[in-house]
Every structure is written in C-alpha cells, then in structure tokens.
C-alpha cells in the first residue's frame, strides 16, 4: 500500500524499505493507541455528561494494577521499537565493505561532488544503480546536511571533520538532494539532483562527459608533486618526513609518546596543522598548507595517500588507468566507475 | 530546624586542613602519575570543596533538603559531563568516518 | 522598610522567623545550584578541549604563575574562614565582631583581586592575551620542546583561562559589593539569632566562589605541571 | 476549607487586589504576585501577537513554491524571530509567569511568593530581554534560527546575533527568578495541613518545571555567553577554523533546550489535571502516579538531549544511548494521558469552555507525544530529522499542548482573576475553531516531512505545494480562533460582563474559597487544609452560578 499511495516518497535505495517498514509500524501503533484513547474520551464525554449543576463524579482513588499495566505495556513496545530502530540505524550508518567512495564538499550554497574517476559535478550527482556508494563529506564553511529523501539517508556535513553517508540505489530516476541543516541565505536553494542510471548508461555518461581529468588518486598524486610533498615524504633514510607508503590505516607513534591512527582526519590535520601530531623520529619541519589547499584538494590528497596503502577505500582500481586515458573496469568493485579521457 | 552555631575550633581546624591540602596539591603536581594526574588533583579539590561545604557552609547541620540540593547539583553535573563525553569518547565507534 | 517589625525584620508574608530564614537559605542554595550549572557548562567545554589537546594545553598552562596561584588559593581560603566567623558572630549578635570579620573578608578578597590583576598584566606583557597579538613560543624555544605544539590551541587555553578566571573575578567583585552592603546593618546591630539571614546567604555565596577557585586552581595551573619539572 | 453556600454574596468584595491601590506606580512597583501575573499577562500577550504575526507571514510565503513574497534573507529572519519570540518570550514564561504566579501562593494558602521583590524583578528582567530582542528586530533582525548553531552564528551570519543571544541570556534570568521563587514557596510557605500529597497537581508540575528551569537555564546562559564571546572577540571556542568543535555547541545548547521543551509542556499538564478534575467533579485518577510522573519527566528530560543530534556527527554509540533514554521519557507522559482519560470515567462532565480546551489538549498532545517517540527511534529520525515532520511534531506539543493548556487555564481562572464571566458561546466557538484550524495547519506537515520537505525552506519543489496550501489555509482558521478570546475577554470586563462569584464552576481548591477577585493577601485568614486535593465527595462545593452563563 505505501507503494502506490501518491503522497509517499519514492523508495529508491536498499535501506528505504526497511525505514518505511519501521515507520509504518510506528504509524499503526500510534494510530491504534490514539484511537483507543480517543474513543474512550469520546465515550466518557457523552456517557458521563453532567445532568444537574451540583452533581459530582463518582470518587475513586485509582488502581495500582491498572497503573502498572499501562506503564509496562508501552514500555515493552517502545523498547522493542528502539531495538528495531537501532538495527535500521546501523544499516543506515555502516556502508558495506565494497562501497565505492565518492567525495562531497558542501559550501554556501552548493554541493560539489567528485567521482572516483575524478569527474566533478556541482549540485548534480550521477550514480550507477545497484552499486553501494559511500560519500566522504566535508564543509568549507558552516554546517550543512546532505539529505536524499528517496534514499532515506541524511548526514550533517561539518567543517573541519569528515562525515559519511552511504546508499545503494535500487531504482533509476532523478531524486532530490536537499541541504537539511540551515546554512544561511540560500539554504533552500542548496539542493540538487541525484541521477540513478543503469551501469552502462553511467559509463557512457562518464565517457562523454567533458572535464574528466584523471581519477581522484591521479589528481591527488599531481597535487602531491605540485605542493612538493614528495621532496620530504619518500622512502629512505634521508627523508625528512615519514614515508607514506603503506602508512594509511596503521597506528603510528608520535613524538610525545602517544600514538594515533592514520585516518582521513589525521592526514587532513597533518597537512593543515603539521606540528600538531608529529610522528616520532621526525623534526617538526613541515610548513602548514592552511589557506593554500582547498577542501577538494585535501580530499584528493587523502585519496592518494590511501592508494599508497593499497586501501580498498581508494576503490576504483581503474583510477590509475584513468590518468593515462584507458577506461577499464576491474577488481573487487565490478560496478565501479572509471573515467574516459 | 533549630539554629546550630559551629564552634570556632572547628572553623580553624578546617582552615588548617584546607591549607595543608593546598600545599599537597601543589606538591603532588611535581610528580607524574600518568593517567592518574587528573584523578589525584581532582580528588584533592573535591576533598577541599567538601570541607568548605560541610563546615563553612554548615551543610553538616543543615536540613536533609539542603543536602539533597547539594547532591542534586552534583548529580546534574555528572549527567551533563558524562553524557557529553559519551559522545566524545566513542567517536568512530563504527570505524566509519563521522559515525 | 515599613513591613519590618522593630526587633528585626519579619516580612509580612512570613509567619515566623524560622520560616523566613529557611526560605532565604533555601533560595540561596538554589541560586548556587544555578551557578554550579553555569560554571559547569564552562568546565565541560574546558574538559572537552583539554582532553582533545592535552599537550598544547599543558604547555600553555606552564605560562601561568603557580606561586601566585597558590598564594591566591590560600588568601581565598582565609577569606572563607573570616566569612564563616562573620556568620557565627552574627548568629551570636556580636556586633563589632561581625563588622570586623566582614572587613577582614573584604580585605582578603581585595588582595585576591590585586594578585589576579598582577597576573593579568603579566599576561598582557607576555602577549598571552588571545587576539592578534597572541604569541607563545613553547618552552625553551629551541625546537626540541616545541614538537607538536599548536599555538592556536594554546590560545584557546588562554581563552578559557581568561574566561573562567574573569567570570570568577566578576563574582568576587559582586561578593565584595554585598559585603560592603552588609556592613551597615551589621554596624547598627541588626543581626541576632532570629535575624541573620543576609549574612548567612552572603556567606554561602562567598564560600561558593571559593569552591569554584578550588577547582580552577588545579585545572588551570597544575594539570600538566610535572611536564616541565 | 469550608464550602460556600449558594446564598453567599456573589458580589465581589469592596476591596480586592485590583482596586486596593490605584495608579500606574502602584502597578509598576507592586509586590503582589497577582498583580505581577497581570503584568506578565500583558507582556506575553504582546509577544504572542508579534510571534503570531511572523508565523502568518511564514505561512503566506509558503503558499507558493517560489520565494516570491519576501526575500530569502527576510524569510530566514521571519522564522528565526518567530522561534525566538515564541519560545523565549511566550511558551516558557506563559503558564508559569501568568497562571503560576497568580495561583501558586493561593493554591497552597500563602499570602505571597517567598520573594515578592524577586518576582517583580523577574518581570522587569523579562521586559529588558524583550527590548533587546525588539532592538535586534528593528535593527535588521537575526537569521540564525532560534538554535543559533555555530559556526554559522559565530562567524558567518551578517545579522544581529549578539543582541538576540543576549536577549535569550537575559530572559533566562527572569525564568530562573520565577523558578527559584516557586520551589522555595512550595517548600516553605504551605498553609497548615497542606501536605505534599494534598497539593493540587498544578503545583507538582510547577515544582517540576521550576527544577528544570534552575538546572537547565544556566547552561543556556553560559552557552550563549561563549557564543557572544566567540562572535565579538573572534576567539576559538566552537568554530573549527579557530580550533573549536561545533558539535560541542549543540551538546551545550540542547542540554538546556531539550529540557526547555518540558519547561513549556509540564505546566500545561498541570493545568490540564486541574481542568479535568474540576469539570468532571472528580479526583484525578492515580494522583500519585500523575504527581511522580511530573518529577520523572523533569529528571529523565535531562538525559535525552542527544536525540536532536542523531545526524550531527555525534558517535553512533552516543546516539544509541540517547535513543533508548528517549524511549524511557515517553512513559511518564503516557501515564499522565491514561490517568486523565480514566478520570473522565464516571465523572460529572460539563462542556464548559475550559473543558473543551482540555479535551483538545488530550487529543493533540497524544499525537504530538507519539510522533515524538517515533522521532526518538533512530532509523526513522535519520530520514525525517530537520524536515516538516519535526516541525509538525513540536507544534502538536507546543501549540496543541502548551497553548491549549494555557488558554484552557486562562478560561478556567479568568473569573478568579477578574471576577467576571466571559461569553460562553463565543468562547466555545473559539475553542473549536482553534482545534480545527490547528489540525488543518499542522497535520499536512507530517506528510510533507515524511515526503522529505526540509524545514526552514523559503522555496520548495512544486510537488509539495498542495499540502502547503492546506497548511496555510488552516493557519488562517487558527489565527481567527486565537484572536477571538481578545474580544470576549475584553467584553467581560465591560459593563455587560457578568459577575462570577467566588466559585462559578463549583470546583475544589483553595483558590475557589476566597473571593473573586481575591484580596491582596489572598485570604481573610490563613486557611487550614483538612482534605486531599479534589475531595468532591467530602466537600461537595456549591457552584455560585447555578447555570454558569448559559446563553
């Protein structure tokens, strides 16, 4: 019934049906309880209408048994619904291992997306159907929130820290993207469209779309050279910075004796604020790149650093080939997109 | 509730104890107990505050209501700090960025 | 005040002195609860950032003068003692003693604020006031100790230092104002076993301000102190 | 407590609190809690009208999908000011400062609140806060939303954030003054025989509300202070560019602002208990459970703030903890609804206007509460968070709950406050109009929210228009319903207004044993309480109006 009811939003992702099942169960429970109370009130209201001005009601003091009953029953219901709701929430929160990573940057008042192939879009996002997709997101200014009602997913996009949203589209079509966290003058215009396409259509779109300039990793590698990162970060005893080969995902010891996991937030911090957490054995020589590198470029650099560890999150093995213009799909994520030249 | 007048002697004893604890807190700050640094410093501060509350502020002889008010305020501090840190200490719980 | 009877002051809407005293004492305690939550929010923010940037906060904390901080702690505790004695004297209707202890409390409070002012001006001289002129070279300035040091986080420490001690000092100033106001009825011998609630509630307030400092001192001055010693 | 006989003089006393003193000065310097209640009634009514005007403009703009009536910036200022004014200057003070101020001392048989000067001070502080808010409004408004989220508010917004935040800060002090007064009064000023479990339930809920005010408001104060410091001095506290964490702002903000929801709804629950008892002439079913439910809400209400932050970047673990605690806080509210319903059973129910409001409250609060629990369920909230579903939910609680409770209370105690009866027919028309208009306005918003329309949108995709038009139409009806009381209340004070007598409803409670309006010190002599609340059987009061103002 929810399917053909015209007032309802499209179900276009794998989590949407489970969110809706949860929602409609709650609606049914609520409607039943509200009706029960409503009917009781209405009946008492008519049945026990006052007939003389000085009439008084029948006095009783209540009943502990009744109180316990109507404490226990709702308690059981809400706790059961809590368990169910939390399971759905974990599904919404935890992307599958084979999810392909796309990048998103929010700024007043637009969304910038980047495909694994390096293809960039503004306020539009083309994605292949039946492919789990993970958006790594950051804001350049205030808090935004990426919301795709048809996918039943939403996550705030924060300045200074990465957050994630994931979905797997199940239905081709065009769906709204909204900014759900109020962000200023044109908050209501900070939207866009996500286009869910068949795999082959998506690849065709990628191939003919202009402006695809190498994969995220390739762009990151280029930035790595342009910002001269490679003059210090290389393998060997003369390197002034830690070798990044295989570093991502490991836990490194810091100069002050503590340790930290090399994740996206740490790499970002190390570029913007290099002296904050210096790896043990190195001098704090690195200059800050604050103000020189954009959030988009940071994301690309991170993708490159990830690729040095062969991390699957760097995804799309086709990325490297993207740089030299070939368009091959391969590896663990068969549906993963690649670039055209 | 009848009026209770605290003795001078108790006031001076508490004053002495507070002075000793102040010196102690500075003294122990010279040592590194690792993760226990905060615990030691806060334990001494709590001891000092308790002395002030119980004797100087007279809660020792106050009504149960006053005691309840003091305990309630502390409990609410625990709610606020505890639940906020529940978030900060479990960031990355799922191993997913921002989760 | 017209509704006050001549023996002391029983307001029209109270039945007994006990009721009036209990009401004003409970009122002050509840006010202190709001103060605890007010400072509590500030402490919470400090705790969150301190645990996020422990090293930077420790290095910044080294810039504070522990000796002056410790002296101030002692001064404030002494003022609490004289305040407690003032309340006691008012309960016993010892007119001169009340005034004497109140003045002593004020003097200790003034000394505290004076030392605080010395500390603040030293921070100004050393460019440790948050803002465009903020400057902090980590201990030794030879690069060795400066490892991993983020001056922005140190500046944040000083935001909290000035914010929290400033708020505390503002409470002290209000407290001294209340003490001055108390001196007049005290001098006229208004206070006795029935009616001493003004002294009592101001005392509660004063002790509370003392307690805030008891926590501020280790949190701001001492935590991470061992690092440099 | 002795029952008045039907023959007792219905005429008001020669001297009562309204005419004991004359002149503007006697009002502005009054220490009488009843007069202060009237002052507050005037102030909150003015702010309610201003906030309502903004709501009207919002609904008018949303009639069409395009942003055509006002600019985006103007719209953002409209909803921000609507929120700030309604929350800080109407919903929070309305019931405690008007009805509570008038009734708390009378209901416990005291001459006044424990600290009369503080009480008057709270009204002045409230108005200073109001002036700050009006100053910000006139200078060009504020566009952060009432939530003031950092870093938008601290760094990016080009509007009058500081005076508005200061207004919230100062308004907090006025509610603290009221809350502190209530707690001390209820603890220390009860008349002989008025034990805790003989207190009317209105007092239990006022007490619980005051607890929340005292424990929560200071945290809002420090949060707004830090926000003002960051904005004016550019020091790093919440803005990540300055080293801070914007999520910390949300924690601190919601630590107050979620319990603040209970500051708004708990007093209304107290009023509803009084109304249902009085117009069923019956004890409230399960008195102790209803009383303790108020306290349970006050405590549990502090442990659930994180459910406003499920999508904020808070850890998944913390979200789960906050979700389960949110489920628990629903239980005491449910207990109240069940007990109110059971109270109607075998009552002697009248259809007087206050009772209509009470029934409206029961229906709307039930829906608001149930959708609240839905929102606390993680899987659903991720989808509907920050959509019109949330907007609909909290208007069911705030308008359907608080405002209906407030109006119900005002209609119930109006004869006591003024000594006059208002027009029965028109007041019933008003109650029904409000109920219908309200549902038409806000029910469509549940559907809009589930479809995914985000809140705070000035223009929206065209497929949402039909429901928005319905909502705007409903708002018109609601507006008319809310304006009606102004007229018949004003008329009741004129020459044609009928005299109420001490107890027009035949209700039980100390307030109905004194004259209407009451004397300055409330009672000729301190009452001695001999029965529990709502002891209709034992006391069997005679209404001073045989057929209360039947047309």
Quick check: A24 and A1 in contact, CB under 8 A? no
Q: Which of B32, B87, B88, B98 to mutate to test the interface with A (most CBs of A within 10 A)?
A: B98
Q: How many CA atoms lie within 13 A of D116 on its CB side?
A: 19
How many other CB atoms are there within 10 angstroms of residue C36's CB atom?
21
CA distances from C134 to C60, C123, D362 (A): 12, 10, 59
Q: Does C125 touch chain A (CB under 8 A)?
A: no
- Integer Cα distance of A144 and A139 in angstroms: 7
Dump pLDDT digits (tens) for B55-79: 999 999 888 999 999 999 999 999 9
Ranges of chain D with pLDDT below 70 = 1-9, 546-551
Is pLDDT of A316 > 60?
no
**A230 and A305: one domain?**
yes
**Any idea what the CATH number is for the domain that residue A6 is in?**
1.10.287
CA torsion angle for D216, D217, D222, D224 (degrees, to 10)? 120
Domains observed in chain C = 19-50+65-134+151-228 (1.20.120.80)
**Greater model confidence, C21 or D412:** D412
- ipTM for this prediction: 0.90
Strand A124-128 relative to strand A192-197: parallel, antiparallel, unpaired? parallel
Is residue A107 within a helix (H) or strand (E), and if so which, with residue range?
A: strand A100-107
Kindly indicate the confidence band of residue A217, based on its pLDDT and cuts at 50, 70 and 90: confident
Question: What is the side-by-side strand order in the sheet with A124-128?
Answer: A124-128, A192-197, A173-179, A144-148, A153-157
Question: Looking at residues A108-131, what average pLDDT do you find?
Answer: 91
Alpha-carbon torsion, ordered C192, C194, C198, C201, to 10 deg: 120
Chain B partners of C204 at a C-beta cutoff of 8 Å? 57
pLDDT computed for residue A327 by the predictor: 36
A233 shares a domain with A203: no
Residue identified by tokens 């505890």 is B82
Let me know: does D377 contact A21? Beta carbons within 8 Å.
Answer: no
B96 neighbourhood in chain A, CB within 8 Å: 93-95, 164
CB proximity C142 to A under 8 Å: no
DSSP one-letter code for D190: P
Residues of C within 8 A of D221 (CB-CB) are 38, 41
Cβ under 8 Å to B: D residues 160-219:
187, 215, 219
Beta-carbon contacts below 8 Å between A and D = 277
Query: What b/e sequence results for D243-282 when a residue is b if at least 16 CB atoms lie within 10 Å of its CB, and e otherwise?
Result: bbbbbbbbbbbbbbbbbbbbbbbbbbbbbbbbbbbbbbbb
Q: List, for residues A271-298, the tens digit of each pLDDT value.
A: 887 877 788 778 777 878 887 888 888 8
User: Which residue is listed with tokens 């003024």?
Assistant: D418
As a whole number of angstroms, the distance between CA D501 and CA D233 comes to 60
Give the Å distances, CA to CA, from C137 to A290, C66, C140, C146, C151: 20, 19, 8, 8, 8
Tokens representing D333 are 């509210």
A279 φ/ψ sector (left φ>0, alpha ψ -120 to 50, else beta) = beta
The CATH number given to D24-539 is 1.20.210.10
Report pLDDT for D551.
35
Assess whether pLDDT exceeds 90 at residue A263.
Answer: no
CA–CA distance, C38 with C41 (Å, rounded to integer): 6
Residue, of D11 and A1, whose pLDDT is higher: D11
pLDDT of residue C153: 85
Beta strand pairing status for A100-107 and A132-139? parallel
Residue A149 and residue A188 in one domain? yes
Chain segment D255-275, per-residue pLDDT in tens: 999 999 999 999 999 999 999
Q: What is the pLDDT of residues D363-410, one digit of tens each?
A: 999 999 999 999 999 999 999 999 999 999 999 999 999 999 999 999
C-alpha distance from B82 to closest chain C C-alpha (Å)? 10
| Overall domain count for chain A | 3
Note the pLDDT of residue D298. Answer: 95
Contact A155 D313 (CB under 8 A): yes
C-alpha to C-alpha distance for D93 and D390, rounded to whole angstroms: 23
> Apex CA D336: angle with CA D332 and CA D340, to 5°?
170
C214/B31 touch (CB, cutoff 8 Å), yes or no? no
Task: Give percent of chain C with pLDDT exceeding 70.
Answer: 89
* Residue D387: strand, helix, or coil: strand
The three-point CA angle D226-D227-D229 to 5° equals 60
Instruction: State mean pLDDT over A17-37.
Output: 95
CA dihedral D394, D399, D403, D405 (to 10 degrees): -70
Contact C23 D188 (CB under 8 A): yes
> Would you state the pLDDT for residue A98?
92
Task: For residue A239, give both structure tokens.
Answer: 């390197």
The tokens describing D38, both together, are 């009237």
For residues C108-131, average pLDDT: 90
Which of the two residues, A158 and B3, has the higher pLDDT score? A158
- Above 80 in pLDDT, residue A183? yes
- Please say whether the beta carbons of A109 and A190 come within 8 A: yes
The structure tokens listed for D225 are: 């202070």
Q: In the listed set A177, A208, A239, which residue is the last one of a domain according to the structure?
A: A208
A50: in domain: no
For residues A243 and A165, membership in a common domain is answered with no
Phi and psi of D300, rounded to 5°?
-60, -30
In a domain, A2, yes or no: yes
Q: Measuring CA to CA, how many Å separate A194 from each of A11, D413, D464?
A: 14, 57, 19
What is the average pLDDT value for chain C, to the nearest integer? 87
Chain B residues within 8 A of C225 when measuring between CB atoms: 29-30
Which of A200-204, C130-134, C167-171, D190-194 is predicted least confidently? C130-134
Give the gap in angstroms from C-alpha D280 to the nearest C-alpha of chain A: 6
> What pLDDT shows up at residue B94?
82
Rounded to an integer, what distance in angstroms lies between the CA atom of residue C165 and that of residue B38? 20
Residue A304: the pLDDT is 83
Burial class (CB in 10 A: 0-12, 13-18, 19+), C43: buried
Same domain, A258 and A291: yes
Is the domain of A225 the same as that of A158? no
Does residue A328 sit within a domain? no
Q: Which domain holds residue A155?
A: 100-208
Token pair 């009470």: residue: D358
Residue-wise pLDDT tens digits, C71-100: 999 999 999 999 999 999 999 999 999 999
Q: Report the predicted TM-score, pTM, of the whole model to 2 decimal places.
A: 0.89
Alpha-helix runs per DSSP H in A214-253: 216-226
Per-residue model confidence (pLDDT) at position B30: 84
Whether A1 shows a pLDDT value over 80: the answer reads no
| Over residues C179-194, mean pLDDT | 92
The answer, for C207 touching chain B at a CB cutoff of 8 Å, is: yes
Chain D residues whose CB is inside 8 A of the A174 CB are: none
Together in a domain, A157 and A79: no
What are the counts of helices (DSSP H) followed by strands (DSSP E) for chain B? 3, 0
CA of A94, closest CA in chain B: separation in Å? 7
Residue C138 has pLDDT above 70, yes or no: no
Q: Return the ∠ at Cα A93 (arms to A92 and A98), rounded to 5°.
A: 90
Rounded to whole angstroms, the Cα distance separating D111 from D332 reads 33
- Element (DSSP H or E) covering residue D7: none
Instruction: Check pLDDT > 70 for residue A267.
Output: yes
CB contact under 8 A, A277 and C148: yes
D347's CB contacts (< 8 A; 6+ apart) are: A44, A48, A57, A58, D279, D280, D281, D282
User: Over C117-172, what HEC string results?
Assistant: HHHHHHHHHCCCCCCCCCCCCCHHHCCCCCCCCCHHHHHHHHHHHHHHHHHHHHHH
H-helix or E-strand spanning residue D163: helix D161-188
* Of residues D334 and A252, more confidently modeled: D334
Whether A201 and A107 share a structural domain: yes
Neighbouring chains of C at 3+ CB pairs within 8 Å?
A, B, D
- Measured between CB atoms, does C29 come within 8 Å of chain D? no
């Amino acid at each position: 019934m929810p399917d053909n009811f015209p007032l309802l939003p499209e179900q276009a992702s794998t989590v949407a049906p489970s969110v809706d099942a949860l929602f409609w169960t709650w609606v049914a429970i609520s409607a039943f309880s509200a009706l029960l109370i409503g009917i009781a009130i209405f009946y008492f209201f008519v049945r026990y209408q006052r007939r003389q001005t000085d009439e008084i009601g029948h006095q009783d003091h209540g009943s502990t048994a009744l109180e316990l009953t109507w404490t226990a029953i709702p308690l059981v219901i809400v706790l059961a619904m809590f368990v169910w709701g939390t399971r759905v929430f974990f599904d919404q929160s935890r992307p599958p291992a084979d999810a392909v990573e796309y990048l998103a940057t929010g700024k007043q008042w637009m969304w910038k997306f980047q495909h694994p192939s390096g293809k960039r879009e503004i306020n539009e996002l083309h994605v292949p159907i039946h492919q789990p997709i993970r958006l790594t997101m950051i804001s350049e200014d205030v808090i935004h929130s990426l919301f795709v009602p048809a996918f039943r997913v939403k996550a705030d996009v924060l300045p200074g820290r990465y957050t994630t949203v994931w979905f797997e589209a199940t239905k081709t079509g065009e769906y709204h993207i909204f900014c759900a966290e109020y962000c200023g003058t044109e908050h209501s215009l900070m939207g866009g469209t996500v286009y869910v396409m068949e795999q082959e259509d998506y690849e065709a779109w990628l191939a003919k779309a202009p402006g695809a300039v190498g994969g995220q990793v390739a762009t990151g590698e280029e930035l790595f050279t342009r910002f001269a990162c490679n003059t210090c970060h290389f393998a060997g005893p003369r390197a002034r910075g830690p070798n990044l080969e295989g570093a991502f995902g490991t836990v490194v010891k810091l100069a002050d004796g503590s340790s930290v996991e090399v994740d996206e937030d740490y790499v970002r911090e190390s570029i913007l604020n290099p002296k904050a957490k210096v790896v043990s054995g190195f001098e704090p020589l690195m200059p800050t790149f604050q103000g020189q590198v954009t959030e988009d470029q940071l994301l690309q650099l991170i993708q490159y650093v990830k690729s040095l560890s062969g991390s699957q999150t760097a995804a799309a093995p086709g990325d490297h080939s993207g740089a030299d213009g070939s368009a091959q799909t391969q590896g663990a994520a068969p549906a993963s997109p690649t670039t055209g030249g | 509730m009848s009026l209770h007048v605290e003795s001078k002697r108790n006031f001076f004893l508490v004053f002495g104890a507070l002075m000793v604890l102040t010196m102690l807190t500075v003294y122990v700050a010279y040592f590194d107990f690792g993760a226990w640094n905060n615990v030691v410093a806060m334990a001494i501060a709590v001891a000092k505050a308790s002395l002030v509350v119980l004797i100087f502020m007279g809660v020792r002889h106050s009504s149960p209501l006053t005691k309840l008010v003091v305990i309630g305020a502390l409990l609410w501090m625990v709610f606020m700090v505890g639940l906020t840190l529940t978030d900060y200490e479990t960031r990355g719980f799922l191993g997913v960025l921002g989760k | 005040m017209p509704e006050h009877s001549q023996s002391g002051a029983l307001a029209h809407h109270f039945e007994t002195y006990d009721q009036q005293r209990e009401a004003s004492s409970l009122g002050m305690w509840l006010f202190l609860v709001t103060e605890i939550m007010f400072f509590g929010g500030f402490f919470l923010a400090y705790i969150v950032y301190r645990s996020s940037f422990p090293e930077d906060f420790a290095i910044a904390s080294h810039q504070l003068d522990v000796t002056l901080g410790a002296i101030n702690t002692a001064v404030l505790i002494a003022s609490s003692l004289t305040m407690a004695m003032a309340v006691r004297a008012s309960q016993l209707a010892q007119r001169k003693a009340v005034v004497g202890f109140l003045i002593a409390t004020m003097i200790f409070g003034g000394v505290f604020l004076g030392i605080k002012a010395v500390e603040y001006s030293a921070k100004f001289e050393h460019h440790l006031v948050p803002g465009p002129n903020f400057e902090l070279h980590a201990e030794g300035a030879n690069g060795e100790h400066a490892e991993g040091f983020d001056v922005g986080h140190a500046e944040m420490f000083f935001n909290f230092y000035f914010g929290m001690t400033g708020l505390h000092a503002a409470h002290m100033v209000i407290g001294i104002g209340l003490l001055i106001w108390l001196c007049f009825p005290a001098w006229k011998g208004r206070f006795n076993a029935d009616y001493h609630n003004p002294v009592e509630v101001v005392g509660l307030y004063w002790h509370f301000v003392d307690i805030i400092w008891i926590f501020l001192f280790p949190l701001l001055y001492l935590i991470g102190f061992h690092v440099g010693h | 407590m002795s029952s008045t006989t039907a023959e007792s003089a219905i005429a008001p006393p020669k001297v009562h609190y309204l005419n004991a003193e004359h002149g503007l000065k006697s009002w502005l310097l009054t220490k009488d809690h009843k007069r202060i209640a009237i002052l507050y009634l005037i102030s909150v009514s003015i702010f309610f009208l201003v906030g309502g005007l903004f709501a009207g403009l919002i609904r008018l703009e949303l009639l069409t999908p395009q942003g055509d009536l006002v600019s985006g910036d103007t719209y953002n200022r409209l909803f921000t000011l609507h929120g700030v004014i309604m929350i800080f200057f109407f919903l929070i003070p309305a019931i405690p400062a008007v009805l509570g101020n008038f009734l708390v001392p009378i209901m416990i048989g005291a001459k006044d609140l424990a600290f009369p000067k503080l009480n008057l001070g709270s009204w002045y502080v409230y108005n200073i806060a109001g002036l700050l808010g009006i100053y910000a409004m006139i200078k060009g408004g504020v566009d952060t939303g009432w939530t003031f989220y950092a870093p938008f508010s601290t760094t990016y917004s080009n509007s009058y954030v500081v005076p508005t935040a200061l207004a919230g800060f100062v308004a907090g002090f006025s509610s603290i003054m009221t809350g502190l007064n209530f707690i001390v009064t209820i603890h220390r000023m009860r008349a002989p025989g008025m034990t805790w479990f003989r207190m009317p339930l209105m007092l239990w809920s006022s007490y619980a509300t005051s607890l929340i005010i005292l424990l929560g408001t200071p945290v809002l104060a420090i949060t707004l202070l830090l926000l003002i410091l960051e904005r004016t001095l550019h020091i790093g506290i919440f803005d990540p560019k300055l080293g801070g964490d914007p999520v910390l702002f949300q924690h601190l903000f919601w630590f107050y602002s979620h319990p603040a929801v209970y500051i708004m709804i708990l007093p209304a629950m107290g009023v509803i208990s009084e109304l249902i008892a009085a117009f069923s002439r019956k004890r409230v079913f399960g008195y102790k459970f209803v009383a303790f439910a108020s306290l349970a809400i006050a405590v549990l209400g502090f442990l659930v703030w994180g459910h406003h932050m499920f999508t904020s970047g808070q850890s998944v673990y913390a979200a789960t903890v906050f979700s389960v605690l949110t489920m628990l806080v629903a239980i005491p509210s449910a207990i109240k609804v069940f007990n109110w319903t059971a109270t109607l059973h075998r009552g002697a129910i009248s259809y007087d206007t206050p009772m209509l409001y009470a029934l409206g409250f029961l229906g709307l609060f039930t829906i608001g509460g149930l959708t609240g629990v839905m929102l606390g369920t993680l899987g659903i909230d991720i989808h509907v968070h920050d959509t019109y579903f949330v907007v609909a939910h909290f208007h069911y609680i705030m308008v359907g709950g608080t405002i209906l409770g407030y109006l119900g209370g005002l209609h119930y105690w109006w004869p006591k406050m003024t000594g006059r009866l208002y027009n029965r027919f028109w007041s019933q028309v008003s109650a029904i109009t409000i109920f219908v208009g309200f549902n038409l306005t806000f029910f469509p918003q549940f559907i809009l929210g589930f479809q995914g329309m985000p809140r705070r949108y000035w223009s929206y995709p065209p497929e949402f228009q039909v429901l928005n038009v319905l909502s705007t139409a409903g708002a018109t009806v609601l507006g008319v319903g809310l304006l009606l009381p102004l007229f018949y209340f004003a008329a009741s004070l004129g020459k044609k207004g009928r005299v109420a007598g001490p107890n027009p409803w035949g209700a039980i409670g100390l307030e109905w044993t004194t004259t209407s309006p009451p004397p300055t010190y409330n009672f000729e002599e301190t009452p001695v309480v001999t029965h529990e609340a709502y002891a209709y059987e034992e006391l069997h009061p005679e209404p001073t109006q045989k057929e209360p103002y039947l047309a």
